[in-house]
């Protein structure tokens, strides 16, 4: 059984990236101090966590989960926080991303580093 700590760290990295991206919009092209600082801190934390994670999980798996879940979560933030519309084709595409990430993660054999 694989350790869940790297996956927990990956979840934290994804959440940091989603928070940073959300504040990136609020930073208004880095003209607002607090959202700009939160953007930089969020991305720095996310990339630091990724650097730790890729020591134990293959980088391709990490990137598939990171990008797929990040896209889905930031789309939901855009919908709920910024009122951006997710139409049926967008929702279907997001579902395909989740399905693809699931297949990559579930069907990949673990690699020891």
| pLDDT tens sequence across 14-69 | 999 999 999 998 999 999 999 999 999 999 999 999 999 999 999 988 988 998 99
Residue 51 lies in a domain: yes
Residue 19 lies in a domain: yes
Q: Count how many domains the chain has.
A: 1
Cβ–Cβ < 8 Å for 16, 46: yes
Q: Compute the 3-state secondary structure of the chain and give helix, strand, coil in percent, each to the nearest 5.
A: 75, 0, 25
Largest CA distance in the chain: 47
**Domain limits for position 41:** 5-107
Residue 101 lies in a domain: yes
Residue 1: the pLDDT is 42
pLDDT band at 98 (very low <50, low <70, confident <90, very high): confident
């Amino acid at each position: 059984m694989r350790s869940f700590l790297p996956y927990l760290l990956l979840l934290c990295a994804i959440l940091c990236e989603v928070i940073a991206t959300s504040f990136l919009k609020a930073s208004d092209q880095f003209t607002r101090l607090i959202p700009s600082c939160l953007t930089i801190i969020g991305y720095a934390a996310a990339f630091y966590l990724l650097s730790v994670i890729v020591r134990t999980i293959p980088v391709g798996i990490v990137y598939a989960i990171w990008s797929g879940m990040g896209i889905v979560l930031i789309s939901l933030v855009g919908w709920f926080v910024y009122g951006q519309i997710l139409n049926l084709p967008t929702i279907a595409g997001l579902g395909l991303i989740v399905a693809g990430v699931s297949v990559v993660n579930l069907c990949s054999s673990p690699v020891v580093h």
